[in-house]
Amino acid sequence: MAGRVLTQRELNRALLARQLLLERVRLPIPRALERIAGIQNQYAPNGYIRLWSCLDGFERDDLTRALERRAVVQATLMRSTIHLVSKRDFWPFAAAIRPAQREWWLRVRKPRPDERELERVASELDAALASGPRRHEELAAITGRGWGMVGPWLELVRVPPSGTWEERRAHLFQTAQRWVGPEKTDPGAALDRLVRRYLAAFGPAAPAEIAQWAGTKIRDLQPALERRALRRFRDEEGRELLDLPRAPLPDPATPAPVRFLPAWDAVLLVHARRTGVLPEEYRPRVFSARMPQSVGTFLVDGAVAGTWRYESGGVAVTPFARLDGATRRELDDEAERLAAFHR
């Protein structure tokens, strides 16, 4: 067990630095996505807003063009949710999580599907997509069933113009083999990349947190963890945390600017609870069964301090507590910039 204890404040600043939320940087979009381990993108504008908060000079057309050029891929990946990832990361991520996804699909579907039937339907859909991308409704009509049942038996990607700022419903699909290119990924190397990307983007972290983010089991990740030389720390509760050598650990006194986050942002999910980005007393106000669509949030000093929404040409903010004058001015300035980004 490692001796050094990292405070929640240290873990918070490490996360913000690695998620490009301490300062905007100039990076190509695919490289930025690799740095932050992709963006959960259940609602098409999310990726645009998250990149706007990370990248200096980012404009909406930049991401749309990256999707059109296939430098960025939109697909169902970690935790069976829609993500934006770089083309380079797509196949390693898909291959690394595939066994766990298949196990999960077979376990939760009632009655339990027959794998041979899933493979047959996957082949049927693959043939239908040979002539070009198809819409959700077309694929359902072709198979005469819920085509999504094939899940990880046929890797599909969402292709533009659907799933963009301009056409937000992500309902146009093609096979990953045709859109991204053939899968040429060694399973061990794929798992190594998944673990490396997580720790670089969210570390230091416990193995269980990597598994929560990926939608796998700890045992699935163990070979990759054992192959790497990792730094070891403890959190304030004594849990062991793993990290990459030389990954940034900023001074906990580093100032954190106001930042706006989209709905379902990964830094707010339970795998990153150790960082205190989402104070526990506010978690029910951001995620609840009564509000499945979630909400956009803003950070003050590295923690969620309220929610926001775009309406009537402006960004309306709802703080959870009173803000001092200087913070309110910084928040209003950033809100105005976000409103201009929307227009």
- Express each pLDDT in 227-263 by its tens digit: 999 999 999 999 999 999 999 999 999 999 999 999 9
Q: What is the CB neighbour count within 10 angstroms for residue 227?
A: 12
Q: pTM of the entire structure? A: 0.95
Print the SS3 string covering 154-197.
CCEEECCCCCCCCCCCCCEEEEHHHHCCCCCCCHHHHHHHHHHH
Lowest-confidence region among 54-63, 101-110, 270-279: 101-110
The 10s digit of each residue's pLDDT in 171-220 is 999 999 999 999 999 999 999 999 999 999 999 999 999 999 999 999 99
Reported confidence tier of residue 148, pLDDT bands at 50, 70, 90: low
Q: Residue for token digits 């301009």?
A: 166
Above 80 in pLDDT, residue 290? no
Q: Answer yes or no: is pLDDT of 223 > 60.
A: yes
pLDDT at residue number 107: 86
Q: What is the pLDDT of residue 109?
A: 78
Domain boundaries along the sequence of the chain: 278-342
**Residue 294 scores a pLDDT above 60:** yes
pLDDT at 146: 61
